[in-house]
Structure 1
Amino acid sequence: MKSDAEDLMPRLLPVEDYDVEDFDPSIPPRNPQEYLRQVQLEAAKCPDVVVAQIDPKKLQKRQTVNVSLSTCQPAPDGYSPSLKWQQIQVANFSAVRQSVVKHRAHWQAQALDENVMMPKVEDDEGWKKFCLGENVYFRRSAIQDVTNEEMGIDYVKVGFPPLLSIVSRLNQSVITQVLEYLITWFEEEEFSPELGRWMYALLACIEKPLLPEVHSLIRQLARHCAAVRARLENKDDERLSALNLLICLVARYFEQNDLADKE
């Protein structure tokens, strides 16, 4: 009843041996031992090697292959920061992350202002409006929205800043989702200071080691920052410093060294 292959393989489950007269594989098993023995016999009939029959004609058709660059576009001459500048930014960012961890519990216990209504995690458009403000979302001018000191600032229009009392309430799942929403926005729209502040804050709250989806997202962010930087018309563009900072943090702090600006 035993094959050569069966003799060489370890027995994962104890199965009592049955004489031919006592065991009939053609009838339903009467107990667990007979069931396991029947499974063994069926497995022994399977070939060790199976060759798939592939029609070569199907492989001759033209196929579309999408290739994405894994590294950042190099910065134009004079646009990339020095290594010393990058080291300073990484040190400052590390201090910010330590402060967030230290004070997270305190800020979680603080009550939010009544006007702070955080969207549900699945509300893509709601988070974009919450972080960036309706002015950026609807591409309106913010000049008329900063009122006098008595009225204060309309955060619905200019966006809620990433205060510790807000970001401390976001778990890693929500942080990842919001980061994805904002990166998608960044790839479709212009970079803005509001976007930069939230990107920095979310990166400061990401826990290490990185989850695979977070790893992919931050690399996507750095690559797009580099692509936008390559299109800047001059070194005085106010976006340059922020773009360099995000690339630096992804590459240097989160150890995506192949994306780093080389001196």
Structure 2
Amino acid sequence: MNIFNDNDDDKLDDYDALLNLVPRLPVATFDSYDPNIPPENGADYLRRVQLEAQQEPNIKVAEQFFVRKPKCYDYHVESIKENEFIRSLPAFEIHEQLIIPSVIESFLTLRQHIDDLRKKYADDNKLIKRTRKWWREYCFSYNNQSNDLKYKPENNYQTNIPRLSLLARISQKEICRLLCYHYQWLLEDDHDQYTIERGLWFYSLLAALDSIQPDDTYCLLRKITRLCSRIRNEFQIYLEENVKGNDDDDAKMAAAVDHIVDDDKCSILFQKLASLNLIILLVGYYFNQKDLLDSWK
């Protein structure tokens, strides 16, 4: 219901028109100013803002933003900056769109299992914060007698397989901290010491990590992905130099599997490549860092 009559509406329109003619705040009257001299009062400041606005064009076009595409490096990794993502060599390219559905499905199944364990242990006490030294000894010093892998570890230590019951009992903050520890340890050690068990730790920690994280956690995930791409590049260069397909061509490395049956090192490197690719794919697709993928364009 309108509580005003027509005469009142006319009065309101006149009042609005009058307000539009009257400045809301007093403004200085000068037509030029020295930008090196600060304004003396509010009116002086407002006039400067008006004059600066008059100097700007009515329509401004923003500079075009170009997304830098990752390059496919085909030279040794030492000549590349540490903060660069190194794409897979052409001979080792994988069909991401074909394998990613099954990868994500298995990953989501594991995440659901961890969530069920968290509900199961909800009434139990959370594990207290552990030191970096404690985690180092837990992850790498204990001998794992129930090793189901089909090859002997190359290193002088045995990696303790991550327990989901343990990951379900620690907080998100502790998971991020442990993920950072594993990244630091991999930086400190030689890249040859990367093992499938280490990759399993990264995989399990990613499965226990919430999908929504603060910026510093995403920064850590990107660092891990870049490091994985660097290690992967070293392995690929070694395999490309030591494994050749038929007629010495550069065919896919899968075609040369028959040539490496008796080469334990090459066989293990192929398994490590699969582990590294898995980490890169998960960070890229599940945690939405797709610019760190080989297929990014």
Q: Could you tell me how far apart the structure 2 residues matched to 1:188 and 1:107 are?
A: 35
Q: Deviations over 1:157-191 (max 9, x none)?
A: 74443222200111111011110010011122221
**Secondary structure of the residue that 1:169 maps to in structure 2?**
coil
Residue 129 of structure 1 and its aligned partner are, at CA, apart by 1.9
**1:86 alignment partner in structure 2:** 100
**1:128 alignment partner in structure 2:** 136
Q: Could you tell me how far apart the structure 2 residues matched to 1:161 and 1:146 are?
A: 10
Kept in 2, the 8 Å contact 1:73–1:223? The answer is yes
Counting only pairs closer than 5 Å after superposition, residues 94-133 of structure 1 correspond to structure 2 as: 94-107=108-121, 120-121=129-130, 123-131=131-139, 133=140
**Secondary structure of the residue that 1:75 maps to in structure 2?**
coil
Q: Deviations over 1:10-43 (max 9, x none)?
A: xxxxxxxxxxxxxxxxxxxxxxxxxxxxxxxxx9
**1:39 alignment partner in structure 2:** none
Q: Could you tell me how far apart the structure 1 residues matched to 2:273 and 2:85 are?
A: 15
Kept in 2, the 8 Å contact 1:104–1:164? The answer is no
**1:253 alignment partner in structure 2:** 286
* Amino-acid identity (%): 23
**2:181 alignment partner in structure 1:** 181
**Secondary structure of the residue that 2:88 maps to in structure 1?**
coil
Residue 68 of structure 1 and its aligned partner are, at CA, apart by 6.2
**1:205 alignment partner in structure 2:** 208
Q: TM-score, normalised by structure 2?
A: 0.53
Kept in 1, the 8 Å contact 2:138–2:160? The answer is yes
Kept in 2, the 8 Å contact 1:226–1:243? The answer is yes
The residue identity in structure 2 corresponding to 1:166 is: L
2:223 equivalent among 220, 225, 230: 220
Q: Could you tell me how far apart the structure 2 residues matched to 1:110 and 1:119 are?
A: 12
Kept in 2, the 8 Å contact 1:100–1:164? The answer is yes
Q: Could you tell me how far apart the structure 2 residues matched to 1:99 and 1:146 are?
A: 25
2:273 equivalent among 216, 237, 240: 240
User: Number of residues paired by the alignment?
Assistant: 185
The residue identity in structure 1 corresponding to 2:223 is: Q
Q: Deviations over 1:49-105 (max 9, x none)?
A: 9xxxxxxxxxxxxxxxxx967652011123232221233212211221122113312
Q: Could you tell me how far apart the structure 1 residues matched to 2:208 and 2:108 are?
A: 11
- 1:119–1:195 distance in 2 versus 1, CA, 3 Å: farther
Q: Could you tell me how far apart the structure 2 residues matched to 1:70 and 1:231 are?
A: 16
**Secondary structure of the residue that 1:210 maps to in structure 2?**
coil
Q: Which runs of 5+ in 1 are unaligned?
A: 1-5, 9-42, 50-66, 113-117, 136-141, 148-156
Q: Could you tell me how far apart the structure 1 residues matched to 2:84 and 2:286 are?
A: 16
Kept in 2, the 8 Å contact 1:172–1:207? The answer is yes
Kept in 2, the 8 Å contact 1:72–1:227? The answer is yes
Kept in 2, the 8 Å contact 1:90–1:248? The answer is no
- 1:158–1:111 distance in 2 versus 1, CA, 3 Å: farther
Q: Could you tell me how far apart the structure 2 residues matched to 1:129 and 1:194 are?
A: 15
Q: Which runs of 5+ in 2 are unaligned?
A: 1-23, 27-39, 49-79, 147-156, 240-252, 254-266
- 1:129–1:192 distance in 2 versus 1, CA, 3 Å: farther
Q: CA RMSD in A?
A: 3.4
Residue 208 of structure 1 and its aligned partner are, at CA, apart by 2.3
Residue 125 of structure 1 and its aligned partner are, at CA, apart by 2.3
**Secondary structure of the residue that 2:90 maps to in structure 1?**
coil
